[in-house]
A and B are shown apart, each in its own frame.
Chain A
């Protein structure tokens, strides 16, 4: 096997790990320095009719897409085979559920971008970073849909023996560059754009993903807080006598 070129090393080793570092450190920085800016920056107050359809469509779609990626990337092929899931069954599930989720995501995205561009109030509240983020998201999602349909379903490329393996090697700090550099161009674009969006993530409103309020389900309805931030447990040695 040929040794990887400089460009290949750059694309599939250096950039991914740099993106990972930026992703982690960026979030830590943002959380410490800009908790005030950590918001969804909702534009629903400006426009609700299109958002009511587009936003749930996109968000629920992308949640299913995410779950699909967890299954496809994290679980090795040998594990699913071991529990008796044949390749055919796996692909049938992946294609049907995946395409459903993809349709919802793309449909939602198109609607949301249309809304953002045509509604002057919403467009007025759109930053340059927002526009870049929308562009990147579109590239990632469209490339992903393209490669799933044309490379994977029709083209015969098995990403579970290529990209997925590289993904797991990435977390073990042993990425095999050849797995990525020989993947179809659709996958390459999808993965690279995704990596770039992860690097962009902490600086955009995408941080709201990490504010998902799951704690709401378990907390009591009414919250009391003392204004006294200094109130602390009694200092050791200064406990009052309990008469």
Chain B
């Protein structure tokens, strides 16, 4: 057993109103640079819809992710290493800019510099790639709120397997929003596709990052990722991706998209998994078993054996505590609500989703029945095959039973809590009908509906840096601590001491100019405790010009 910690996210789609605040704040934080105009580390898709880039889920076309070879072994869907290298001069599956959109701005200057004239000046759009005027034909969110009904036919790849029945009933049936970031997979196919070995999974928290100094722009990761969440910076010629806001995570803060989510629908926390079992779990023959296999990978942080193994694997104690409080673990394993996006890609994605109940509620409400009544909702879940099949295509590789179970739990919670809030005696049969107790259902309600900040985000701060300064203090003379007589002798630790353990400061880094300034009043002083008695220490006697540094 090789236990690793993974920072994971759950999004409760029932609460997403599609406001795009996450996308905008993410863009402001990370991709408001030249070369990344079209890059959305976080985007929100209206589903049914084509997604971004257009139709990215059609893996028969894009060949992203993993597949099983004829002898049942896991291999990259686009082909093995030799094939990748052979096609390195022209990646056959690379999306073009037109699959995203041509980024543009407007000639705002026209509005300001136009002379006095009869007609109001305009600001025509111009391409940010060529600088020429252009017609806007598509963008990152062109089919927003259309629910897959845009233009000719339904181009959503996830609708194909549902077939003709959709076309008749579809428009009235349902629509919901799907915010997407990088999945920070346990078995990332982008990492496996990178010829340079520039993409890596961090040992400490499982965040997948691109080493910008090692990336050589071979573009294989872009086609390798089935979620198309690696983007090509067309200015630097390097791959870029969602960083899970690692500088914030290391400080115990949630990602920008989560922090700014007005619906408070994102949850961040740790899960432990057994890294030695990942390949095996990703290789199960039946696609519909992948969800269960992925769920089984996640270990119970309360299990003494797991705690012991985690300790031995070098996972700090407070991280184990955080894993035990993890809302992500609860939503995946205790309440059985969260589902992975497209487990059939076999990448073991670590951004999970609670499927939306709202399409079901809306239908019940529209028919005039009580949409808070458990019996009505249960019946509707059994009846509404199309939304459930669609959700199953997204989250369980087509297994509708799992999705229906999740929705029943949410429906039960809705009905059960309605009674409590109305002051009516709650019906304990409702939680029992979905395999829960009244107490656990109230806890689940608290996590989902009240969703307090510190319950949504249980993020232990990063450790390696702290460990270092602590080690420095532990092995050095105590007189070298801040304010002590030896503080000038230990530049690494001295000036920072315990203060240096907060946040991300690196005690081994070179002293900054700022620190030098703080210390300048000590220059010229002498610490005889550190004098070995040989020679004449500088500063023992004043220099002719007066004290040094004065």
Q: Does A59 contact B (CB under 8 A)?
A: yes
Contact call B94/A45, Cβ cutoff below 8 A: yes
Known A45-B97, A213-B195; contact A230-B464, beta-carbon cutoff 8 A: yes
What residues on B are CB-neighbors of A39 within 8 Å?
A: 215-217, 236-238
Give which listed residue, A42, A222, A224, contacts B217 with CB less than 8 A.
Answer: A42
Residue of B with least CB distance to A47: B96
Question: How long is the Cα–Cα vector from A5 to B96 in the complex, in angstroms?
Answer: 55
Question: How long is the Cα–Cα vector from A25 to B76 in the complex, in angstroms?
Answer: 39
Q: Please tell me the number of chain A residues within 8 Å of chain B, measured between CB atoms.
A: 43
Q: Does A83 contact B (CB under 8 A)?
A: no
Question: How long is the Cα–Cα vector from A213 to B88 in the complex, in angstroms?
Answer: 10
Q: Does B129 contact A (CB under 8 A)?
A: yes
Contact call B203/A45, Cβ cutoff below 8 A: no
In whole Å, how far is A154's beta carbon from the nearest beta carbon of chain B? 33
In whole Å, how far is A133's beta carbon from the nearest beta carbon of chain B? 15
What residues on B are CB-neighbors of A45 within 8 Å?
A: 94-97, 219, 232, 234
Contact call B129/A227, Cβ cutoff below 8 A: no
Q: Does B520 contact A (CB under 8 A)?
A: no
Question: How long is the Cα–Cα vector from A177 to B348 in the complex, in angstroms?
Answer: 64
Known A225-B200, A226-B464; contact A44-B191, beta-carbon cutoff 8 A: no
Q: Does A221 contact B (CB under 8 A)?
A: yes
Q: Does A182 contact B (CB under 8 A)?
A: no
Contact call B85/A211, Cβ cutoff below 8 A: no
Contact call A224/B236, Cβ cutoff below 8 A: no
Residue of A with least CB distance to B462: A227
The residues in B between 223 and 253 inclusive whose CB is less than 8 angstroms from any CB of A are 232, 234-238, 250
Most-contacted residue by chain B among A41, A45, A46, A211 (CB, 10 A): A45
Contact call B82/A217, Cβ cutoff below 8 A: yes
Q: What 0/1 pattern do residues 9 to 36 of A give for CB contact below 8 A with B?
A: 0000000000000000000000000011
The residues in A between 31 and 87 inclusive whose CB is less than 8 angstroms from any CB of B are 35-48, 51-52, 55-56, 58-60
Question: How long is the Cα–Cα vector from A124 to B468 in the complex, in angstroms?
Answer: 48
Give which listed residue, A46, A124, A219, A227, contacts B202 with CB less than 8 A.
Answer: A227
Question: How long is the Cα–Cα vector from A25 to B237 in the complex, in angstroms?
Answer: 24
What residues on A are CB-neighbors of B87 within 8 Å?
A: 56
Q: Work out how many contacts link A and B, with CB atoms closer than 8 A.
A: 135
Q: Does A215 contact B (CB under 8 A)?
A: yes
Residue of A with least CB distance to B509: A230
In whole Å, how far is B136's beta carbon from the nearest beta carbon of chain A? 16
Give which listed residue, B89, B218, B468, contacts A60 with CB less than 8 A.
Answer: B89
Interface of B is mostly: loop
Q: Does A132 contact B (CB under 8 A)?
A: no
What residues on B are CB-neighbors of A42 within 8 Å?
A: 217-219, 232, 237
Q: Does B90 contact A (CB under 8 A)?
A: yes
Contact call A216/B81, Cβ cutoff below 8 A: yes
What residues on A are CB-neighbors of B201 within 8 Å?
A: 222-225
What residues on B are CB-neighbors of A52 within 8 Å?
A: 90, 92
Contact call B89/A213, Cβ cutoff below 8 A: no
In whole Å, how far is A112's beta carbon from the nearest beta carbon of chain B? 11
Question: How long is the Cα–Cα vector from A210 to B511 in the complex, in angstroms?
Answer: 36
Question: How long is the Cα–Cα vector from A52 to B93 in the complex, in angstroms?
Answer: 11
Residue of A with least CB distance to B91: A44
Contact call A56/B464, Cβ cutoff below 8 A: no
The residues in B between 86 and 126 inclusive whose CB is less than 8 angstroms from any CB of A are 87-92, 94-97
Q: Does A120 contact B (CB under 8 A)?
A: yes
Contact call A36/B213, Cβ cutoff below 8 A: yes
Question: How long is the Cα–Cα vector from A222 to B194 in the complex, in angstroms?
Answer: 10
Residue of A with least CB distance to B88: A213
Known A46-B129, A125-B234; contact A222-B204, beta-carbon cutoff 8 A: no
Residue of B with least CB distance to A46: B97
Contact call A225/B192, Cβ cutoff below 8 A: no
Contact call A222/B468, Cβ cutoff below 8 A: no
In whole Å, how far is A65's beta carbon from the nearest beta carbon of chain B? 15
The residues in B between 408 and 466 inclusive whose CB is less than 8 angstroms from any CB of A are 462, 464-465
Question: How long is the Cα–Cα vector from A239 to B235 in the complex, in angstroms?
Answer: 48
What residues on B are CB-neighbors of A208 within 8 Å?
A: 216-217
What residues on B are CB-neighbors of A236 within 8 Å?
A: none
Q: Does A228 contact B (CB under 8 A)?
A: yes
Q: Does A121 contact B (CB under 8 A)?
A: yes
Residue of B with least CB distance to A59: B89
Give which listed residue, A55, A217, A227, contacts B90 with CB less than 8 A.
Answer: A55
What residues on B are CB-neighbors of A44 within 8 Å?
A: 90-91, 94, 96, 219
In whole Å, how far is A52's beta carbon from the nearest beta carbon of chain B? 5
Contact call A40/B200, Cβ cutoff below 8 A: no
In whole Å, how far is A165's beta carbon from the nearest beta carbon of chain B? 34
Q: Does A88 contact B (CB under 8 A)?
A: no
What residues on A are CB-neighbors of B538 within 8 Å?
A: none
Q: What 0/1 pattern do residues 196 to 209 of B give for CB contact below 8 A with A?
A: 11011111110000
Contact call A215/B216, Cβ cutoff below 8 A: no
Contact call A230/B508, Cβ cutoff below 8 A: yes
Known A120-B132, A124-B129, A227-B202; contact A213-B196, beta-carbon cutoff 8 A: yes
Known A223-B191, A224-B200; contact A38-B216, beta-carbon cutoff 8 A: yes
Question: How long is the Cα–Cα vector from A124 to B88 in the complex, in angstroms?
Answer: 23
Residues of B within 8 A of A (CB): 76, 81-82, 84-85, 87-92, 94-97, 129-132, 187-188, 191-192, 194-197, 199-205, 211-219, 232, 234-238, 250, 462, 464-465, 468, 506, 508
Question: 13 A-B residue contacts at CB 8 Å?
Answer: A42-B232, A45-B95, A46-B96, A46-B234, A52-B90, A214-B85, A216-B194, A222-B187, A226-B204, A227-B205, A227-B462, A227-B464, A230-B508
Known interface pairs A35-B213, A46-B96, A224-B200; 10 further A-B residue pairs with C-beta atoms within 8 A, sorted by A's residue number: A36-B236, A40-B218, A44-B91, A44-B96, A48-B94, A52-B92, A55-B90, A121-B130, A213-B85, A223-B191
